[in-house]
Chain A
Amino acid sequence: MAAEYKEISPNAPAGEQLLNWVDNRFPLSKLYKEHLSEYYAPKNLNFWYFFGSLALLVLVIQIISGIFLVMHYKPDATLNAAGVPVAFASVEYIMREVEWGWLIRYIHSTGASFFFIVVYMHMFRGLIYGSYRRPRELIWLFGCGILLVMMAIAFTGYLLPWGQMSFWGAAVIVNLFAAVPVIGPDLALLIRGDFVVGDATLNRFFSLHVIALPLVLLGLVVAHIIALHEVGSNNPDGIEIKKHKDASGKPLDGIPFHPYYSVHDLMGVGVFLMIFSAVVFFAPSGGGFFLKYTNLIPADPLVTPAHIAPVWYFAAYYSMLRAVTTEFMYVLTAAVWFAAFHGIFRAGFGTQGKVLVLGGAVVGTLMLLGLDAMFWGVVIMGAAVVILCFLPWLDRSPVASIRYRPTWNKYLYGAFVINFFILTYFGVLPPSVISTRYSQFGTLFYLGFFLLMPWWSRWGDFKPVPSRVTFTPH
C-alpha cells in the first residue's frame, strides 16, 4: 500500500523539509530504518560474522578497481609490433606507464584471492552455525549462486592477462566440457568461439567478466541481503532471537545494526584492510599463489608449460577432478550399489520402488563404466560445488549450531576443513601417486560428508540449547 503524503510544518529546519520532500517520493527514511537503525541483529555475533560485510567490501573494491583497469586494458590477442599479444602488453602498460596502474592492478589481483578467502570463511560460518537452516534456505541458495558466479568471474578474468597460465588454464578447463557426451565438442566450441583458445575466446571472456557475470552477481547479492534482512541474522547459538521480544516488539537479544554493528564491522574492515594492504604492497604475487610467475610469459599456443596449475581457490576442486580415474569409477559404482541395497532392503519402498531403485542402479553402473572417466571427473567437480545448494535439506540435526551438537561433530568439521586444505595443496602440485590416492580418499570424504549428512547429523548426544543467546558484555 502506498504511503500517505506527509505534510510538515513550513517552519521546520531546511534539512528536515528536504528529507520530508524525499520521503514523500522515495522511502529513504523507511529503508534506513529497516536496514540499518531498526534492523535488529543478535548481540552475540562473533569473529565469523565479519566476513559477510567484508565480502561486500571486496566486491566494491573489485568493481572500482576493475572499472579503472578496463579503461586501459585491451582484449586483443593479436601480436603488436614487438611480437607480443596486445592484451599481455596492455597489462604491462598498466603496470608500468598508467599512473598508479600497478596499484590498481595489484588491488584487483589480490582482491580476487581475498574474495575467495572471505567467502570461504563466510560459508564455513554458515556451515558450523547452521545458518542455512529454516527459514534461511533461500539466503543460502542465493549465496551458492553467488559462489558459482564468482567462480565463473574468476575463471573468465584469469584469461585476460593472456599469459601462459591464463591461456593454458583456460584451454584445459574448456576442453573438459568437450568430455560431456553428445554435445561436448559443440559446447566447448561455443565457449571458445573457435577451435582453439584465441582472440574470440579472449573477447567473449572479457565481455562475460566485466559486464554479464557482474550484473548477475550484483542481482544475487541484492537478493541475498534482502532475504537476510527479511528473516534476520542467525547467530553462533543457532537460536531465533525473534522468539523473545519486548513490549514494543523488539527482539530482547537484538541490537540495532547501526550503530552497533556498523562500528563493529568498521573495526573488521580496518583489520582486513591491513592484511589486504600487506599483500598488495609487500607480496602482491602471494608467493606465486595469487599471481602465477609463469603468467608473466606471454601466451604461446605452441609451447605448453611443463605444469599447468589452477589458481589456489579452484585447486581443491581440481584435485577432485584429477581423482576420478578409470579405476576410481569402480569405487563410485560400488558406492551406487551400496546406496541401492540400502534403498532396497532398508528404506521400506514397495515392490515397484525396489524395482525402480534396482533399475536405476543398473543404468547408473552402465553409465559410470561406459562413459569416459574424465566426464565423470567433470561431473564430480561440478557436484562438489552444487551439492552445497542441498545442504539445508541434507542437515537433519535437531539443533542448528555446532555448539550444541555432539562433540565429535567438531572433529568431523575440522577434518572436513583439513581435507579441503590438503585437496587444495595437492591441486596446485603436479600429479603424483600420493596426490592421486589422497585426492580419491579426499573426494569420497568431501562427498560423503554431504551425502551421508542425513544420517550422521542425527547421531549422538545433543546438548541442551538455551532459550536466550549466550553473551558476555565486553
Chain B
Amino acid sequence: MKKWIVACLLAFGLISGAVAAKSAVPLDRAPDLSNDLAALQRGAHLFVNYCLSCHSASFERYKRFKELGLTERQIRDNLMFTGERVGDLMQAAISPADAKVFWGKAAPDLTMITRSRAGSGGTDYIYTLLRSYYRDDTIAHGWNNKAFPAIAMPNPLWYLQGERRPVMQTVAGPDGSSTEVFAGWEQVTPGTQSPEEFDRSVAELVAFLDWLAEPAKQQRQTLGIFVLLFLAVFTFMAWRLNKEYWKDIK
C-alpha cells in the first residue's frame, strides 16, 4: 500500500516538473520584494504613472493601496491623477476603442497579469519582458522586444531606460555555416536611470503587480499557519482519542 502512495506522489511530482514554465528566451529571475512595503509603494507609483494610462486594473480599487501602508490622503495626492474617487476601480485613461485604433488591440487588464501568465514564467516573464525592449525601425511604433517579438506595446519605460539596441555577433557553426547570436545590449541614448536603477524599478513594478494579482495572499498564508497549527492539535487529540478507544478491540 505504501508503495502506491509513493508512486502517486512521484507521479504528481513528475507532472508538475514537466508542465513547468517554458519560454522562447531564458527568463531573468524577478527579485522577491513581496515583503518590502517601500518597494511595493514605488511599484504602485510606477504602475499608475506608466501603465494605467492604457492598461486597466479594473478588478481592484485605489483604496486597496491602504494595505501597502498608505493613507487615503497619500493615495489621492500621489497615485490618482484624473479626478477619480479613492473607492473607484482602476480604469485606464484611454478608452478600449481608442486603444484598438492606436495599437491594433485593446491593452489587456493587468490586475491578474502575473498569475494569468504563471504558466509561462509569471513575474519572471514580466520582469524579463519589460527589460528586453530595443529600438527597431522596421516596426511601426519603433520598438521591438526580445522576449516578445513584434510586441504591440511600445517601450512604456523608455524615458527611464533610454534607447538600446542588441549587439549581434557572428559565430561559425561546426559545419562552417555562420549564425548571428545575441551578445548583449548597446545603450544608444541614456535614460534617466542607470541600468542598475532601472532593473530595480522594474523589479519593484513587477512586485507590485504580483501583489495586485492577489492582495489577500499575505493574509492567506498567515492565516494558514494558524489553521494548520490548530489542525495539528486537533489531529493529535483525535489520534490519542482513537488509540484510547481502540485499545479495547482485541
Interface positions of B from 205 to 223, Cβ below 8 Å from A: 214-216, 220-221, 223
Interface positions of B from 88 to 134, Cβ below 8 Å from A: 89, 91, 96, 106, 108-109, 111-112, 115-119
Contact A428 B96 (CB under 8 A): no
Contact A267 B11 (CB under 8 A): no
Q: Which of A46, A93, A297 has the most CB of B within 10 A?
A: A297
Contact B228 A274 (CB under 8 A): yes
Total of A-B residue pairs, C-beta within 8 Å: 136
Contact of B18 among A48, A267, A429 (CB under 8 A): A429
Contact A281 B221 (CB under 8 A): yes
Closest A residue by C-beta to B227 = A277
CB distance from B244 to the nearest CB of A (A): 8
Contact A264 B1 (CB under 8 A): no
Contact of A89 among B7, B59, B108, B245 (CB under 8 A): B59
Interface size class, chain B = 35 or more
Contact of A289 among B16, B64, B215, B216 (CB under 8 A): B16
Q: How far is the CA of A264 from the CA of B246 in the complex (A)?
A: 9
B81 within 8 A of partner (CB): no
Contact B96 A288 (CB under 8 A): no
**Inter-chain contacts of A244 with B (CB < 8 A):** none
A387 within 8 A of partner (CB): no
Contact A48 B224 (CB under 8 A): no
**Inter-chain contacts of A84 with B (CB < 8 A):** 58-59, 109
Contact B224 A287 (CB under 8 A): no
B179 within 8 A of partner (CB): no
Per-position contact with B for A223-249: 1 when CB-CB < 8 Å, else 0? 000000000000000000000000000
Per-position contact with A for B220-250: 1 when CB-CB < 8 Å, else 0? 1101110110011011001101110111011
CB distance from A367 to the nearest CB of B (A): 36
B182 within 8 A of partner (CB): no
The SS class assigned to the A binding surface is: helix
Q: How far is the CA of A270 from the CA of B229 in the complex (A)?
A: 11
CB distance from B61 to the nearest CB of A (A): 8
Q: How far is the CA of A421 from the CA of B14 in the complex (A)?
A: 11
Interface size class, chain A = 35 or more
B56 within 8 A of partner (CB): yes
Q: How far is the CA of A93 from the CA of B7 in the complex (A)?
A: 39
CB distance from A283 to the nearest CB of B (A): 10
Contact A263 B242 (CB under 8 A): yes
A417 within 8 A of partner (CB): yes
B15 within 8 A of partner (CB): yes
**Inter-chain contacts of B3 with A (CB < 8 A):** 414
Q: A473-B249, A474-B246 are in contact. Are A92 and B59 (CB under 8 A)?
A: yes
Report the 6 A-B pairs with minimum CB-CB distance, sorted nearest first.
A281-B224, A270-B235, A296-B116, A82-B58, A92-B59, A267-B238
Q: A285-B118, A425-B14 are in contact. Are A270 and B19 (CB under 8 A)?
A: no
A102 within 8 A of partner (CB): yes
**Inter-chain contacts of A414 with B (CB < 8 A):** 3-4, 7
B204 within 8 A of partner (CB): no
